[in-house]
Chains A and B, each alone.
Chain A
Amino acid sequence: MSTAFLVVILALIWAGISGNFSGLNLVFGGLIGGVAVLVLREALVGPRAFRRARRMLSLAVLFLYELMVSAVRVAIVVVRPDMSNAVRPAIVAVPLTVTSDAEITLLANMITLTPGTLSVDVSADKSVLYVHALHMVDRDAMIADIANGFEKKIREAFE
């Protein structure tokens, strides 16, 4: 049931991208969508798929909001005339609780695009993420911020 629904949506997206809603093109999009669903069958089935999708969505919304905040903050720092006072850079080691490569990659990418932080390196045993902060006020507060914000959400989405 939901598989057929997915194929229809993929066919419509295909038609939208190629800008052609003719019958033949819709059928072609449906064929490609069917193959994609067939290939990704393992990842899609299961009763938890929808709950997981909702958590992914909430993660994406949080991420977009944080991205806008971070851009505005960087912009404010940049135009301040007394810029050297506003900048207190530091490289901090943040212990990781997520373990898989996909989760670490997602976390590192999100940290780079959120307020005041930028991931620099991951230790060889994947247990520590080195984060560069543009304006560090309190080291422990920053680590707690990352652990309770994105890391928790990512763990929920991937559980």
Chain B
Amino acid sequence: MLVGLELYIGGVLLLLGAAFTLLAAIGVVRLPDLYTRMHAASKAGAVGGGLILIAVAVLSQDASVSMRAVIGVVFLLLTTPVSAHLLARASYLSGYKPCSQTLIDELASNNEQNPAT
């Protein structure tokens, strides 16, 4: 039993990662506007992909593979917020307005004061 424990852990991590990725995809379809969708894609997506890579690291039982998988996770966690931030900023500046449910938009009032930015 104890011998295969890491295999069980790896399998559960793999399933969790796949489930989070599916939830991220469902969120991207169901949420009302780009900015809320970005919450689903960047958080659930990064965690889902990261968990799958960690599962590979646990299951491979090979130091070089595990190391590369961990580096892949770090890389994923570094790049996902950067691309989400860049896309959000580019969309906002090109005129993508948040959906009508949005309560306050302090970025809009700031841009009216100094439209040059």
Contacts and interface: CB of A to CB of B under 8 A. Distances in A.
Interface of A: 13, 16-20, 67-68, 70-71, 74-75, 77-79, 83-84, 87-93, 108-110, 112-113, 116, 118-121, 123-124, 128, 130, 132, 134, 136, 139
Contacts of B84: 112, 118
Contact of B30 (A13, A17, A78, A123): A78
19 contacts: A16-B63, A17-B64, A17-B71, A71-B20, A71-B48, A74-B44, A78-B44, A87-B101, A89-B99, A90-B103, A92-B106, A109-B81, A112-B80, A118-B39, A120-B89, A121-B89, A121-B107, A123-B117, A132-B35
A120 B106 contact: no
Given A118-B42, A120-B107, A134-B36, A78 B64 contact: no
A112 B105 contact: no
Contacts of B47: 67-68, 71
B9 interface: no
Q: Which range holds the interface residue count of chain B?
A: 35 or more
